[in-house]
Amino acid sequence: LCNTMWANSFQYSDQDECLVFATNWQEILVEAIQSQDSQECIGATHHLEEPVANPSIASTICADFSGQACCSTSTANTINDATDTSLYNFDYSHCGPISKECEAFLQMEECFYECSPDLAPYASPGPFGPVLNGIPVCADFCDAWFSACKNDLTCATDWLDFEQEEDLDGFFFNYETYEIYCTEESECLTFAERYGNGEGLCNTMWANSFQYSDQDECLVFATNWQEILVEAIQSQDSQECIGATHHLEEPVANPSIASTICADFSGQACCSTSTANTINDATDTSLYNFDYSHCGPISKECEAFLQMEECFYECSPDLAPYASPGPFGPVLNGIPVCADFCDAWFSACKNDLTCATDWLDFEQEEDLDGFFFNYETYEIYCTEESECLTFAERYGNGEGLCNTMWA
């Protein structure tokens, strides 16, 4: 096309110095597709008769459709409030509370169905209103949706398969109350158990409505879905302090720690300025009477990672889902730490020395290998029998360090 359509005017090129006719050509293309004459509303229960510009929904999670929408402001506002089940008497939290990230994807899907003016080519009549068939949903969107919901619970695999008998697995539609709920025999399983991966989720969750696609022409439920997801994560109601010795009762903005190594938590922190300052001074052992240099001086790189870990424990407001009571305060379990961070931590500390492998395993006898906690002085130190070995000898690699160092 490029080499022929306009004689020799243009030449197809894969070089960095190539040109395009407009730097925003992709946006122009999207607008062209959205302006197709085929835009129409599909007659769902809450749909308008035809799409209209609706700037009043721009402040909702359905904002993507404010230019041309099949949903009213009232419908968009209802979707925006995930606790409002009035549209279809259906509760996302039918198996207990769900994560904000998963909730955001379910809201985006609902916006897509209720507000999009581009669904007509995929719509056909169904028992409870129009159903969709074969919409190609971008693979990365499906994968992100699965990642967000994989640990959340649901009692049905196909959310459009309403059982007629209450003793069957899945959802039951009560024709008297118009409510949708889990049947008595249904089992609450994680999304991971029900769908396996992003492809399984997109291809199955809403019957045949969606199809996992790696083609360029695929769709997403909202062009700004990544921003919506970030906002959902940041708005988690689970932000709280876990009651560690030096924690505040609840997280607060603390701009005064922005000049410390704990600066990352200045927006919402569970640590006081005093705690952050103590961590910032690696020679100050007053928090737990514990010295990083228990086997001799350690490198500044290793010291920095140990300080960052201490900031994370003392200051982060996002640890509650991973916390449980321990003998010396809350302990954490199963926090997924990025592989490249673990590898960098190991690389920084591999030549430094420590006398214990598990830094939370305090020995009760001084002749055992590792740390000993002295209940009289409240000090933690290496036992007489413990051996100072390098991090490389104790952990082997970044995975060994992250999986073992703090129990």
**Which H, E and C letters describe 196-255, residue by residue?**
CCHHHHHHHCCCCCEEEECCCCCECCCCCHHHHHHHHHHCCCCCCCCCCCCEEEEEECCH
Ranges 24-28, 266-270, 366-370: which has the least confidence = 366-370
Statement: residue 369 has pLDDT above 80: no
Model pLDDT, residue 378 = 76
CA-to-CA distance for 131 and 145, rounded, in angstroms?
21
pLDDT band at 85 (very low <50, low <70, confident <90, very high): confident
pLDDT band at 366 (very low <50, low <70, confident <90, very high): low
CA-to-CA distance for 97 and 237, rounded, in angstroms?
11
CA-to-CA distance for 271 and 277, rounded, in angstroms?
10
Q: Name the pairing type of β-strands 189-190 and 47-52.
A: unpaired
CA-to-CA distance for 166 and 101, rounded, in angstroms?
30
Model pLDDT, residue 107 = 96
**How do residues 193-240 score in pLDDT, each as one tens digit?**
999 999 999 999 999 999 999 988 899 999 989 888 888 876 665 678
**How do residues 99-112 score in pLDDT, each as one tens digit?**
889 999 999 999 99
Model pLDDT, residue 304 = 95
Q: Closest Cα partner for 139 from 219, 48, 239, 247? A: 219
Q: Is the pTM of this model over 0.75?
A: no
Compute the radius of gyration of the chain from its Cα atoms: 28
Model pLDDT, residue 33 = 65
Statement: residue 29 has pLDDT above 90: no
Statement: residue 168 has pLDDT above 80: no
- Count of other CB atoms within 10 angstroms of residue 311: 23
Question: Taking residues 21-45, what's their average pLDDT?
Answer: 78
